[in-house]
Amino acid sequence: MAPSYSPAPLALPQPAGSGASAGPVRREGFELPAHTSSVSRARSRLSGQLRRWGFPEELGHTALLVISEFVTNAVLHTDSGRIGCNIQLDGQRLRIEVTDEGTERCVPRARSAAPEEVGGRGLQLVGALTERWGVSAGDTPCGRKVWAELGTC
């Protein structure tokens, strides 16, 4: 499943001319069981890490919505036993990734929900609140990765 990263900031070399921001790339990774209680655990882990990194609180609320949506979808719409969560902050961008054991035939898509429907709007919100998001099916050994990126400014 997803690798676990050290909570300490990691300085990673950037390719010349990559346009990457100066400073270290910071990463954190963790795994959770594919259970509804893991949604709040993922939010708590993300919130704590963003505080330690000094991430702007206002943007942190958006990040919490994103990880909630991704973990909820992994729990409800796949047969996963474990869910991996990875976050990366490079000074200009926060990237949130959630991996699950889902198959390519069940790729998350934003949809239009009818006014009376309770659910079905989460990925529309993710699309509206993030710079970009997507799905990488088959990108992980056991399933797919759903990711989103938020600007830090």
**pLDDT tens figures, 44-95:** 999 999 999 988 888 899 999 999 999 998 998 888 899 999 999 998 899 9
DSSP classification of residue 25: B
Strands 143-151 and 93-100: antiparallel
pLDDT at 138: 59
Categorize the per-residue pLDDT at 8 as very low, low, confident or very high, splitting at 50, 70 and 90.
very low
- Residue 140 CA to residue 146 CA, distance in Å, equals 11
Q: Is the pLDDT of residue 146 over 50?
A: yes
Where does the chain have alpha helices with state H? Answer: 37-53, 57-77, 122-129
pLDDT at 47: 96
pTM over 0.85: no
The β-bridge partners of 133 are 148
CATH fold of 33-151 reads: Heat Shock Protein 90 (3.30.565)
